């Protein structure tokens, strides 16, 4: 179902007409030396052109104005909804329709086949397509929608088994993040009973699969390997815990049915488990690596370069609005995306992770201002190093089955990320007075790689995107060097 087909909103129209009235008044006052005819003609010309000038700016008119974008029902689709609802797409001369998709495979297929102009997408999808794992296609991105937007949850039965062994703070509450090593006795107990310990994730190259695997391995639990050269893409070779794909909205029901013992997913589906009393989140991710991106095909980007810039301009404004004033706009955003046409979850559930807090056990609500980051920390910039990190994890778990030199990682990342599009969008916004240079990093001083300190996570291992093979050598679990299955 489409979401709010394009029309000029009352707010948008009023804003334009107010500006035009002021413009006409100034022209009239300054035109004392001109005839009435000259004044009328000048006014008519400026009224006509000013309706489109904001959409043209330095970039020029969009090649394609009527656009259909896809999304999955997750809170990190928010920049798309806000860009539509706040009129930012309209400001760029774009007629946008947003359409919910069933799962990430559908998203990928519909973007590649051109049924969607672009979509809310897993960061790993353009990376996986470029690396030759799964569906092939040339996908690119110029805007990162979010970082720090997912968590891992276990069912109540598992939580009750591990709760006593979880380190506590002075207040008696569990210390977070909780190491996965607390699951070792539980997994062994399952093995002793001849049962598998199952966890859900949303897609083989998803943020959630990579994050879940990283967390389990950091706790000494092997999440399993892929062997695509042997036709085994299950990812379960040698695993202690069995990971399988479950669409995000189905996670809570699948957990409640007992099919899985836990899962790793974006919001609001971890908070949904808390509200339904069926599970407890034990990990929220904070690693300053892009989770979701706005993805298009390379062909679409090349055919519609101006349109792409205009789309990114609207998304940049949406991301800034979501993060500005210490998340002051988040309650309004949560209300917008709680609409059935967007995420369609209860406002209270969405607000629990969108407004700077996160609930673990029922009643254990903690401040988490950096859970769901849309703009600060340069979160929306398409860093090459983010793509490199995903490639290292694909190599680690066998999705990239053979050793690759460092330059392979770099070259592939530069085919996927389009920082030049983002930079032009930012420059246009600054020149139009919609944003200021201080809102952005100094583009002349970045090489497209985050600082290693920015990407340190659970195990304290720092990621230097310039040296992917050295990074892989630091892990005890997973492939490295010339190892292969």
CATH number at residue 79: 3.40.190.10
What pLDDT score does 25 carry? 53
- Best CA proximity match to 176, nearest among 359, 350, 351: 359
The answer on 75 and 50 residing in a single domain is no
Are residues 419 and 384 part of one domain? yes
Does residue 483 belong to any structural domain of this protein?
A: no
190 shares a domain with 126: no
On whether both 392 and 249 belong to a single domain, the answer is no
Same domain, 130 and 174: no
pLDDT band, very low/low/confident/very high, at 9 (cuts 50, 70, 90): very low
Q: Would residue 30 count as lying in a domain?
A: yes
> Per the domain annotation, does 476 fall within a domain?
no
Identify which has the larger pLDDT, 452 or 119: 119
Shared-domain flag, residues 175 and 311: no
Q: Is residue 77 part of a domain?
A: yes
State the Cα–Cα distance between residues 130 and 128, nearest whole angstrom. 5
The tokens for 217 are 């391995």
Kindly state whether residue 160 falls inside one of the protein's structural domains: yes
The answer to whether position 35 is within a domain reads: yes
- Domain span holding position 425: 66-148+290-458
Which residue did the predictor score with more confidence, 41 or 398?
A: 398
- Pair 123, 200 in one domain: no
Euclidean distance between CA atoms 271 and 268, whole angstroms: 5
Neighbours of 71 (CB within 10 A): 27
Say if residue 7 is in the same domain as residue 74: no
pLDDT of residue 48: 43
Q: What is the pLDDT confidence band of residue 181, given thresholds at 50, 70 and 90?
A: very high
Is the Cβ–Cβ distance between 381 and 423 less than 8 Å? no
Query: 44 versus 176: which is more confidently predicted?
Result: 176
The domain total for the chain is: 3
- One domain, residues 141 and 246: no
Q: What is the pLDDT of residue 29?
A: 52
Cβ atoms < 10 Å from Cβ of 237? 15
470 occurs within a structural domain: no
Same domain, yes or no: 412 and 313: yes
Of 229, 263, 284, the one marking the end of a domain is 284
Does residue 163 sit in the same domain as residue 135?
A: no
Mean pLDDT of 393-414: 98
pLDDT for residue 1: 38
Query: Quick check: pTM over 0.95?
Result: no
Mean pLDDT score of the chain, rounded to an integer? Answer: 90
Whether residue 42 sits in one domain with residue 9: yes
């Amino acid at each position: 179902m489409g979401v709010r087909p394009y029309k000029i909103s009352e707010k948008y129209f009023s804003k334009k007409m107010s500006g035009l009235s002021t413009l006409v008044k100034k022209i009239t006052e300054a035109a004392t030396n001109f005839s009435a005819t000259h004044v009328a003609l000048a006014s008519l010309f400026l009224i006509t052109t000013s309706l489109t000038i904001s959409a043209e700016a330095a970039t020029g008119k969009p090649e394609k104005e009527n656009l259909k974008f896809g999304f999955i029902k997750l809170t990190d689709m928010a920049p798309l909804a806000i860009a539509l609802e706040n009129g930012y797409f309209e400001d760029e001369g774009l007629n946008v329709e947003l359409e919910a998709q069933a799962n990430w495979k559908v998203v990928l297929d519909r973007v590649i086949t051109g049924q969607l102009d672009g979509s809310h997408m897993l960061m790993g999808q353009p990376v996986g397509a470029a690396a030759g794992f799964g569906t092939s296609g040339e996908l690119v991105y110029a805007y990162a929608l979010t970082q720090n937007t997912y968590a891992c949850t276990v069912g109540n039965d598992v939580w009750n088994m591990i709760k006593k062994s979880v380190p506590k703070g002075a207040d008696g509450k569990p210390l977070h993040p909780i190491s996965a090593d607390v699951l070792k006795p539980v997994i062994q107990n399952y093995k002793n009973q001849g049962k598998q310990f199952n966890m859900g994730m949303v897609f083989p190259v998803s943020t959630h699969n990579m994050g879940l695997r990283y967390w389990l391995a950091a706790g000494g639990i092997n999440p399993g390997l892929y062997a695509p050269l042997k036709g085994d893409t299950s990812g379960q070779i040698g695993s202690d815990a069995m990971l399988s794909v479950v669409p995000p909205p189905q996670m809570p029901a699948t957990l409640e049915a007992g099919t899985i013992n836990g899962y790793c997913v974006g919001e609001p589906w971890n908070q949904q488990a808390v509200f339904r009393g069926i599970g407890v989140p034990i990990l929220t991710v904070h690693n300053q690596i892009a989770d979701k991106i706005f993805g298009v095909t390379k062909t679409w980007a090349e055919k519609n370069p101006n349109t792409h810039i205009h789309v990114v301009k609207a998304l940049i404004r949406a991301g800034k609005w979501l993060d500005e004033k210490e998340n002051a706009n988040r309650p309004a955003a949560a209300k917008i995306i709680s609409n059935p046409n967007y995420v369609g979850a209860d406002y209270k559930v969405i607000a629990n992770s969108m407004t700077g807090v996160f609930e673990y056990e029922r009643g254990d609500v903690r401040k988490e201002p950096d859970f769901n980051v849309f703009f600060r920390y340069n979160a929306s910039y398409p860093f090459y190093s983010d793509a490199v990190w995903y490639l290292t994890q694909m190599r680690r778990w066998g999705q990239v089955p053979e050793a690759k030199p460092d330059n392979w990682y770099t070259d592939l990342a530069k085919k996927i990320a389009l920082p030049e599009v983002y930079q032009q969008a930012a420059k246009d916004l600054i020149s139009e007075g919609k944003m200021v240079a201080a809102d952005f990093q100094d583009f002349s001083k970045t090489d497209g790689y985050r600082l290693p300190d920015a990407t340190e996570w659970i195990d304290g291992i720092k990621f230097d995107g310039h040296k992917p093979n050295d990074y892989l050598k630091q892990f005890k679990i997973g492939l490295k060097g010339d190892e292969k299955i």
